[in-house]
Every structure is written in C-alpha cells, then in structure tokens.
Amino acid sequence: MVTTYGQAHGLEVDMADLSFDQLSDKIGPDTRAAVFSLYIDDFDRGIAIARDLKASHPGITTFVGGPHATMVGGQDVLRVTDAFDYVGVGDCLPEAMPIIAEACRGRSLPENRVITGSTFDARMDSLSPDYAIWGADRYFPLFPVEFSRGCRQRCPFCTDPVLRRGLAVDPVERTMRTVEGLVRRHGPICVRFVDSSLSSLGSDLDVLLDALITANLPVTWSAFAYPHDMTLDLASRMAAAGCRAVFMGIETMAQGVRTGKHHTKHPEEIARSVEVLHANGIFVHGNFIIGLPGETPDTVSETLDGLRTVQFDSVGGGPFYLAPGSTFARRPSKFGIDVFDPEWQLRAHQNFYEPIPYFRTATLTQLEMRELATRFQKEVEDSQLGCWNLSDFAVLCWLSIGGDINDLKRLWSARRSDLSDDARHVMDVLKERSTEASSSECRAEDFVALATRVAHVQSVQQSHST
C-alpha cells in the first residue's frame, strides 16, 4: 500500500524487502525519502537501519508506520528513537503520502512529526493495491490480498480489534478485480488472505466464495480461520473456492485459560472444525500460546492431551507476551497481570526476542512461560503430534512451485542430517532458521528455483517408491 500511494502521487518508488534486498542497493544520489513499514519483530532492526541511513545520507527524510508504531503511539515512538523524522499512526497513507511527496521534492515539511489518519475506524484504502512493483523475480508467486480490516472477535491478548475500530469489508467486485488482475499478469497463483479472521465474515464471505467458485480461477489460497465458524458447508465451499490451508489460533485446549475464544468453553468445536476442514482436503495449522492468564504446568499437559485426540497437520506457538495496546495491556490488573516495568511498551520491540521480564500472570513468570513453551514444542515433536510450526504460509510457498503437501510434511519433520544439502537449505529458509537466503549470493529467484528443484525431486522419489 505504501508503494501504491507513492506511485499515485507521481513518485518514483523502489521497494526493498530486507529478507532479500540490501537497502544500500536501493539508495541512489536522488533518494530523498526512506519509508519504513515495520512490525514489532523487526522494529529494532528498522531503527538500526534508519539510524545508519541518516548518518550516511543526512539529506534523506525517514518515515515509519505500520502496526507497531500504531500500537505504541506516535509520540512514544519519537521518545524511543530519533531515527525517524516522521511517524505515521493508523491507516494514514492518504494523509502521510502528500508529506512524503513534499520531502521527495525537497519542499519544507510540517513541524508536527506525528501523522494520523482521519479516523481509527476500520476502513479499506480507497486505492486498490498495485502489485506491479513486484517483478517475476520477487519470491514465490504468492500474493497477500486483503478482503477486510479489523476483527469481529475480541480476544484480550490480541491487538487486531484495537488497531482499527470495528470492521470494514472490501466490495467483493474490487477484491475479485485484484485477484483476476494477478492471474492475468502471473498465471496460476497463490493468495494469502491477510484478513484477521476470514472465516468470521459471515454473509460477506459467502458472496466472495460464490464469486471465486463462479470465476473458477487458477488460484490456491489460505487464510486465518476461527474454529467456531467452521461448518462442513463452509469448509466445502472454501475448498471449492480454492482454499488449501488455514491458520487457526487455538491458543489452548485446557479449561480455565483466558483466551476469550468461544472454543475454549466449547472444546468439542476444535475437533469438529479440524475434521470438516480435513474432509475437504484443507491443511490445518493450529497455533498455541503458552502462558495466558490461568495457564499452569497442568493446563499445558491438558493441551498436550487434547492434541493427542485432534490431528492437526501442524502445531506451533510460543510463550505469551503482553502486547502493547491489547485489552490485557490496557487493564492488566483486571486479568491478574502484574507489570513491573512502567515503560515496558517503549521497550516491547527489544523484548520481542530476548525478553527482560516485564510482567507476570497470577500463575506464571515469563521465565516459566518460556520453559513451558520449550516443553510444549519438545512434546509435540517427540510424540509427533503434528509438524512443528509448518504454517499455511510455507505450505502456499511449496504449493506455488508445484510441490505436494505430503512431501513437504515429510521433509519438514525429517532429521536435518537425513536431508540433501539442497533440501536442508530450503527447509532452513522456509522454517526461518536461516537468513542465508538474504545474502547477496542468493537472490530470491535463485532460492525459488532451488526450492522448485527440491519439490520436483521429492515428487519423483515418492512416485518411484510407491
């Protein structure tokens, strides 16, 4: 969306995906602005890159926006760092892009360094995303598409319902135009619907599914889904419309753990939803959070026992962390959460990977949550309760190059030492264990070509062995 707005303002835009690209390759003598779109997990790295850039190119104006800046708030981002000249909060591109354009044209800029949108109510952008900036050499032919913004559910650990108030749904014709345009340009494609909970969109989703089924496009897709929504009829229409994988936030299978999710009170919904999805050939990743209020070592065991009765294709997750802006963060004491560091929200991005304890629940410290999360992963792997953390995103990457899901599941769970060098490298990158794909010797298109060869070899080997 940032590049779409930039181009619509007549700017010459180049995009650096820092998983693969070097920012230095994108900075030229005429570069006037660098615009960062960051999440919590890459906020620290974004700050470091922006700071280096400002030191080496003092004439460049830096901007930051995205969900983390929105949740922390503009003034607080400016307290955290001086690496950014301007901070965009919320869905503010219509307001921010004229200022970015002024910076590019070397004109004077406003004194107020925080740019906010006209509303925090959920709204779709008036411009449709322009994917043309992505060449065929970008990465897998997998495209993010937004059909809605906001979330109908209100899980207290999550910031999706807080990022935007309410829910906005794109007109189905516009989403279909986006998908049809991608197919015209790229042929068969994979689409990752980025909606917070696509399955919760009720009649709007029905209309989209009908349109996809009628159009019968060569599109394979995945999405976030909510177990309570999942009926046999919905699963079969999703499959008919091209869905091959879903990501379901289960969080826990134990009673008494605070998720705010319907299926925690009605655990039978979990098995039922996996069953109807499997009956329609849809891959199911179940995601878990270890340490939500009410969690104890016994509830983790209860979840593991539950997992022995429900066959997820993939199980993933990690320790609970208090997220800036979430309902838990707004009223911690109501949920028995004790916060030790009054300024924790300013340090949340630094605490993402190596947390210095900043809170605890009534039942667990953060250290205990991490230990339990490690135990959880080990037990899932040792007892083969599903592939560990094989999300729908990796599944779509694999499908997009003609791979077979069962081959991927086998490679994913194999011992590293049993894999060929090529297969090991591909798995490491898909598992985000390796950043080698980002080295200058390995371009995105080379990595995709390697993954395609590995997928092909697997399917040949499988057909020989059967």
Q: Count Cβ atoms within 10 A of the Cβ of residue 405 and give its class: 0-12 exposed, 13-18 middle, 19 or more buried.
A: middle
Residues 285 to 324: which contact ligand B12 by CB under 6 A?
323
Q: Tokens 């135009």 identify what position?
A: 177
Q: CB 146 → ligand B12: shortest distance, Å?
A: 5
Rg (CA), the chain: 22
- Measured CA to CA, the distance from residue 174 to residue 196 in angstroms comes to 19
Spatial neighbors of 200 by CB under 8 A, at least 6 apart, are 151, 152, 153, 226, 229
Using CB under 6 A as the binding rule, whether residue 293 contacts ligand SF4 is answered as no
> Binding ligand B12 by CB under 6 A: which of 33, 34, 92, 241?
92
Q: CB 395 → ligand B12: shortest distance, Å?
A: 12
- CB crowding 317-353: b at 16 or more within 10 Å, else e: bbbbbbbbbbbbbeebeebebeeeeeebbbbbbebbe
> Binding ligand B12 by CB under 6 A: which of 6, 46, 74, 88?
88
345 binds, among ligand SF4, ligand B12, none (CB under 5 to 8 A by kind): none
- In what side-by-side order are the strands of the sheet with 219-225? 142-145, 189-193, 219-225, 243-251, 283-290, 314-319, 387-388
Using CB under 6 A as the binding rule, whether residue 286 contacts ligand SF4 is answered as no
Q: Which is nearer to ligand SF4, 226 or 283 (CB)?
A: 226
Instruction: Please check whether residue 35 is in contact with residue 99, taking contact to mean a CB–CB distance below 8 angstroms.
Output: no
Q: Which is nearer to ligand B12, 92 or 390 (CB)?
A: 92
Q: Which is nearer to ligand SF4, 196 or 361 (CB)?
A: 196
Using CB under 6 A as the binding rule, whether residue 325 contacts ligand SF4 is answered as no
Token reading at 341? 């560091």
Q: Given the rule CB under 6 A, which of 102-110, 153-161, 364-372, 408-416 is the region that contacts ligand B12? A: 153-161
197 binds, among ligand B12, ligand SF4, none (CB under 5 to 8 A by kind): ligand SF4
Q: Which is nearer to ligand B12, 267 or 317 (CB)?
A: 317
Q: CB 437 → ligand SF4: shortest distance, Å?
A: 28
- Measured CA to CA, the distance from residue 34 to residue 17 in angstroms comes to 13
Residues that bind ligand SF4 (CB under 6 A): 151, 153-155, 158, 160-161, 196-197, 226, 249
Q: List residues binding ligand B12 (CB under 6 A).
A: 1-2, 35, 37, 39-42, 63-68, 70-71, 88, 91-93, 96, 115, 125, 144, 146, 158-160, 163, 194, 196, 323, 393
